[in-house]
DNA sequence: AACTCTATTGCGCGTGCGTCCAATAGCGAA
DNA sequence: TTCGCTATTGGACGCACGCGCAATAGAGTT
C-alpha cells in the first residue's frame, strides 16, 4: 500500500471499517475484514488502533457525529422553534438515515459488552436530547410552546422517535413509515400543548 | 449425567442456555458455556440442536414468550382497563426485566441480518402491541378512555416504552428509571385523554 | 548516492469457537 | 440375565479471531 501520513491513514482505516460495518454490522466486523477492504495487512490496523473495540467505537462515533451535524444544519434553515422541531422530526423520518439507525441498534446492543462504545453512545444520545431540549426551552421562552418540563418532553420525544425507528428499521413493513412519523409528531404535539398538525405544517413550509 | 427423555433433555438445555445468556448476553453464549452450566458434555447439546443459532433462537423465543405471559398475568389481576394498562407499564419498568430487555436489543440489532430472528422478533412485538391495543379498545368501549385511534396510541406507547427502556438499560445512569416510567406514563395519559397521574394511582391500588 | 526514519508487511502465537464422531453407559424389553 | 437401543461422553478437527513482532520498503534528507 502506498505510504501515507498517520492522520490520513487513520482516517482511511476508519472509512474502510465503516464500509464493512455497513455491510456486516458493527460487532461482526473483524480486523481482517477491514484490512482486506482497503487492500492492506492486518498489522497496519493494529499499528493505528490499540484494540479492535476502539476502532469500532471510533467508527460508530464518526457516523453518529456526521448525522448529528447534518441534522443541526437542517434545523438551522428554519426560522421558528416550531420549524426547527419539525426539521428534527423530518431528519429522523428520512429513509436515507436507515443505515445510520442500524449503527445505533448495533451500538445499543454492543454497549453492555464494549465500554468504549457505551461511553460514545451515551454521550451522543445526550447530545441529541440536548438539541431537542434547547429547542423546547427557546420555544417556551419565545411563547411558541406551553410551559412544559423541557427535560421530560425532550427525553420522551427522543425515546419515542428511537422506538418508532426501531420498528421501521428492524421490522420493515410492520408499521408504515409515514404513519410512524405522524404518530410520533402528534404525540409530541400533545406533550407540548400544540395543536395537532402543527409540525407537519411547519415541515412543509421549511 | 443421568439419562433423560428427549423432550425433557431439550428443555433442560434451553433453560441452561437461558441462564448463561442472562449473564453473558445472547451472542456471547457458547456451546461449552451451556454444557458446563448443566454439568454435561458439549456433544450432548449438538445431539439435540442442529446448530448453536437454533438453540439461541429458541432461548430468545422462550424468554420473550414467558415475559409476555407473565405480563398478561399481572394484567389479569386488575379490575379496570386503566388498572390493566397500569400493570402493563409496571411490568415494563420492573428492573428484573432488564436482562430480558438486553435480549431485545440483541434481537433488534440482529434482525436485519438474520431472517429467523427478524421473524420471531416481529411477531412478538406485534403481540405486545396487540395486547396494548386490546386494552385501549376495551377501555374506549367501556368509556374509561377517550375515543382515540387505538392502533396509533398502542404503537406510540410501545415505542415510547421501548425507547425509554433502551436508555435505562444501554446507558445506565443517563436517566433515572423512576423518571422514565413517570414520563412515559404521562405522555400516554395525554394520548388517551386521561388526567395526569391516573396510571400511577391505578398501579398503587393494583 | 547513501542513509535514516517510519509506514507497512506478513506471518505466527494463543485462544476459543462450532462441529463431528467413535466409544461408552445405562435403561427397558425379551 | 441378556441384549439392543439410544442417551451421553469427551476429545479431535478445522477455522477464525485479536494481537504482536521482526523484517521490509520507500520517501525525504544530506
Q: A112 CB near a chain B CB, below 8 Å? A: yes
pLDDT of residue B206: 46
Cβ-defined contacts of B73-80 (< 8 Å, 24+): B75/B131, B75/B135, B77/B206, B78/B202, B78/B206, B80/B144, B80/B202
The reply to whether A1-49 and A53-205 are identical in fold is no
For domain A53-205, give the CATH number.
1.10.357.10
pLDDT of residue A10: 96
CA trace torsion A121, A97, A182, B107 (10° rounding):
-60
DSSP H helical segments within chain A, as ranges?
6-24, 31-37, 42-48, 52-76, 81-93, 98-110, 115-141, 150-170, 177-192, 198-205
d(CA A130, CA A136): 10
Q: Are the C-beta atoms of A63 and A124 separated by less than 8 Å?
A: no
Who contacts B91 (Cβ-Cβ below 8 Å, separation ≥6)?
A: B70, B71, B74, B75, B97
Q: A71 CB near a chain B CB, below 8 Å? A: no
Q: Tell me the mean pLDDT in the region A115-121.
A: 93
Distance from A6 to chain B by nearest Cα, in Å? 33
Class of CATH domain B52-205: mainly alpha
Q: Tell me the mean pLDDT in the region A159-173.
A: 97
d(CA A126, CA A121): 9
Who contacts B120 (Cβ-Cβ below 8 Å, separation ≥6)?
A: B57, B60, B61, B64, B107
pLDDT over 50 (residue B30) = yes
Q: How far is the CA of A1 from the C1' of C7 (A)?
A: 10
Q: How far is the CA of A56 from the C1' of C6 (A)?
A: 26
Q: Residue written as cell 438499560?
A: B169
pLDDT of residue A203: 86
Contacting A residues, span 26-45, partner chain B, CB-CB under 8 Å? 27-28
Q: Are the C-beta atoms of B157 and A104 separated by less than 8 Å?
A: no
B7: confidence class by pLDDT, cuts 50, 70, 90: confident
Q: Between vectors from CA A15 to CA A12 and to CA A21, what angle results, nearest 5°?
A: 140
Q: Tell me the mean pLDDT in the region B50-66.
A: 92
Is there a contact between A108 and B111 if contact means CB atoms under 8 Å apart?
no
pLDDT over 50 (residue A173) = yes
B48: confidence class by pLDDT, cuts 50, 70, 90: very high
d(CA B173, CA A118): 12
Domain coordinates in residue numbering, chain B: 1-49, 52-205
d(CA B38, CA B88): 34
Q: Tell me the mean pLDDT in the region B54-63.
A: 93
pLDDT of residue B204: 66
d(CA A143, CA B151): 33
Domain covering A1-49 assigned CATH 1.50.10.10 in the classification? no
pLDDT over 70 (residue A50) = yes
pLDDT of residue A95: 95
Q: Are the C-beta atoms of A161 and A151 separated by less than 8 Å?
A: no
B205: confidence class by pLDDT, cuts 50, 70, 90: low
Q: Tell me the mean pLDDT in the region A7-16.
A: 95
Q: B108 CB near a chain A CB, below 8 Å? A: yes
Coil vs helix vs strand at A142: coil
pLDDT over 90 (residue B167) = yes
Mean pLDDT of chain B: 93
Residue numbers 34-93 of A with CB closer than 7 A to any atom of strand D: 42-43, 46-47, 50-53
Q: Tell me the mean pLDDT in the region A155-182.
A: 97
Amino acid at each position: 500500500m502506498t505510504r501515507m501520513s498517520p492522520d490520513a491513514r487513520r482516517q482511511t482505516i476508519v472509512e474502510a471499517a465503516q464500509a464493512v460495518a455497513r455491510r456486516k454490522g458493527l460487532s461482526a466486523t473483524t480486523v481482517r475484514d477491514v484490512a482486506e477492504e482497503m487492500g492492506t495487512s492486518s498489522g497496519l490496523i493494529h499499528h493505528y488502533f490499540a484494540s479492535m473495540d476502539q476502532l469500532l467505537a471510533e467508527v460508530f462515533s464518526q457516523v453518529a457525529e456526521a448525522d448529528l451535524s447534518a441534522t443541526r444544519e437542517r434545523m438551522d434553515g428554519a426560522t421558528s422553534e416550531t420549524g426547527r422541531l419539525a426539521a428534527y422530526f423530518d431528519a429522523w423520518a428520512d429513509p436515507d438515515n436507515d443505515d445510520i439507525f442500524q449503527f445505533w441498534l448495533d451500538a445499543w446492543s454492543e454497549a453492555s459488552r464494549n465500554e468504549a462504545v457505551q461511553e460514545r453512545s451515551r454521550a451522543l444520545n445526550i447530545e441529541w436530547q440536548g438539541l431537542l431540549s434547547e429547542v423546547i426551552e427557546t420555544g417556551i421562552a419565545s411563547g411558541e410552546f406551553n410551559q412544559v418540563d423541557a427535560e421530560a418532553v425532550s427525553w420522551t420525544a427522543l425515546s419515542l422517535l428511537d422506538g418508532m425507528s426501531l420498528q421501521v428499521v428492524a421490522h420493515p413493513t410492520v408499521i408504515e413509515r409515514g404513519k410512524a412519523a405522524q404518530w410520533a409528531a402528534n404525540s409530541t404535539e400533545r406533550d407540548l400543548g400544540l395543536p395537532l398538525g402543527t409540525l407537519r405544517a411547519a415541515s412543509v413550509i421549511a
